Amino acid sequence: MFENIMLSFRGIRSHKMRSALTMLGIIIGIAAIIIIVSIIGGASAQLKNEMIGDSTNTVKISLYSRDEQYSPYSASEGGSIPGITTISEETIQDVLSVDGIEAAAAFYCNEYGLDVKYLDKTNYCSGYGVDLDYFPLSGRTLTSGRLFTQRDYDNRSNVIILTDSLAGQLFKNEDAVGKSVQLGNELFTVVGIVTKLVDYSEIESLSDYYLTIGMEDKGAYVPYTSWSDVAGYDDIQSLLVKIPDPDNIITSATAASDILNASIVSDKFQYKAGTLSEDADYLKEIMKITSILLIGIASISLVVGGIGVMNIMLVSVTERTREIGLKKALGARRRVILGQFLTESVVLTSIGGVIGVLIGIGIAKLVGIIIDMPTVISVGSIAISVGFSMGVGIIFGLVPSVKAANLNPIDALRYE
């Protein structure tokens, strides 16, 4: 085997130009497949991160109107909704017992409906009343100051944590930690600044998606015990759940929503997971079809490359007819001759495959930089590509190799 491979390398080296041109077909095919898979993989990873959740795999379950598309927050403006109560500790325990759910945190939320003031500056923000479990789940990380402590909850302290973009707008270059801001009618002391780890979004449709990615990330967090000072009411909560396996997101989130719905009495509102909208599925489906189509086209070039390999292998067999005859006379079995030519063909296409993978990765990275999109180069796709090019070598090398192996030794020796 090793000898065959060395022999193949020597054969390829002795026909550099011919081998390079033959490989070119395979190189182009494999590079095209790698580029397509990497870019589409990157695009869908981005889509998944931004639409379905993020790498922390958290899903927000919120209250929605049953029959209309408006948000419960506007419906509940100025007060509570009859039949809807705070999410109890028991309900959270029930949710945690759902298969696939690792953690859950209830929180109050008022999206982009709050004014926040510092000295004479006023800005708007989303307000959240959160518990201790919220930050580890939410995909936000502390950049300065501290997070809340149990004491803040026990003392109902007026402490607040701001997102870095909100703090930036209010305080410019000043250090925000230790300053007081007014949220609602109360003054709060800033204790920490958080930043987005990755984009945790609350998205229900494509239009929301485009709206949200254009929006600034302005949020203010207070302990849930202080929420009533901010909002004036405290009964509508959302639940943040962590579902590590993306494949479980739909089923687990639906099960959690059902548990939450069982805890309320309302024919107007229901809890729904703000995730995996049909739009997102549709978009993913389009991507899938596109990638299958593109890979199909790239495969055609691979087949064309394979035919090139077959052609050149047939030429090689004819050229080496005498050599084959001699080897047979010296006692080479059919299998040896078959192995020699098959190895040569596979070595040829494998080199092409490896070069194709390298070129493909290079171009995919370049395209990713140019159009500013992440590319996902999976080990799997590389392995499959190289494997595929080997397969092409075997399939298209088989006919010439069998032809060589079946040559009659005297005809081969007599060949001029």
d(CA 248, CA 57): 10
Structure tokens given for 214: 């254009």
**Interface with another protein: number of residues (CB under 8 A):** 19
CB of 316 to another protein, least distance (A): 13
d(CA 269, CA 248): 25
Binding mask 371-410 for another protein (x = CB under 8 A): --------------------------------------xx
Sign of CA pseudo-dihedral 308, 313, 315, 316 = positive
d(CA 280, CA 278): 5
CB of 336 to another protein, least distance (A): 6
DSSP letter (8 states) at residue 246: G
Among 311, 322, 366, 371, binds another protein (CB under 8 A): 322
Closer CB to another protein, 17 or 330, in the complex: 330
Binding mask 324-363 for another protein (x = CB under 8 A): --xxxxxxxxx-x---------------------------
CB of 14 to another protein, least distance (A): 6
CB of 355 to another protein, least distance (A): 24
Stretch touching another protein by CB under 8 A, among 9-17, 27-35, 136-144, 268-276: 9-17
Is residue 3 near another protein by the rule CB under 8 A? yes
Task: Report in angstroms the alpha-carbon separations of 208 from 205, 271, 399.
Answer: 5, 18, 57
Closer CB to another protein, 307 or 336, in the complex: 336
Is residue 18 near another protein by the rule CB under 8 A? no
Closer CB to another protein, 130 or 313, in the complex: 313
Cβ neighbours of residue 81 closer than 8 Å, sequence gap 6 or more = 63, 72, 75, 235, 236, 266, 268, 269
What is the full DSSP assignment across 285-316?
HHHHHHHHHHHHHHHHHHHHHHHHHHHHHHHH
Cβ neighbours of residue 245 closer than 8 Å, sequence gap 6 or more = 57, 100
Is residue 5 near another protein by the rule CB under 8 A? no
CB of 4 to another protein, least distance (A): 10
CB of 102 to another protein, least distance (A): 57
Closer CB to another protein, 11 or 139, in the complex: 11
Is residue 14 near another protein by the rule CB under 8 A? yes
d(CA 391, CA 30): 12
Return the number of other C-beta atoms located less than 10 Å from residue 368's C-beta.
19
Return the number of other C-beta atoms located less than 10 Å from residue 158's C-beta.
17
Closer CB to another protein, 5 or 24, in the complex: 5
By 3-state DSSP, what share of the chain in percent is helix, strand and coil, each rounded to 5? 55, 20, 25
Is residue 151 near another protein by the rule CB under 8 A? no
Return the residues of window 41-60 that contact another protein according to CB under 8 A: none
CB of 1 to another protein, least distance (A): 12
What is the full DSSP assignment across 154-192?
HTT--EEEEEHHHHHHHHTTS--TT-EEEETTEEEEEEE
Among 20, 65, 323, 403, binds another protein (CB under 8 A): 323
CB of 326 to another protein, least distance (A): 5
CB of 48 to another protein, least distance (A): 53
Structure tokens given for 251: 């089923």
Q: Which residues here bind another protein, judged by CB under 8 A?
A: 3, 10-11, 14, 322-323, 326-334, 336, 409-410, 413
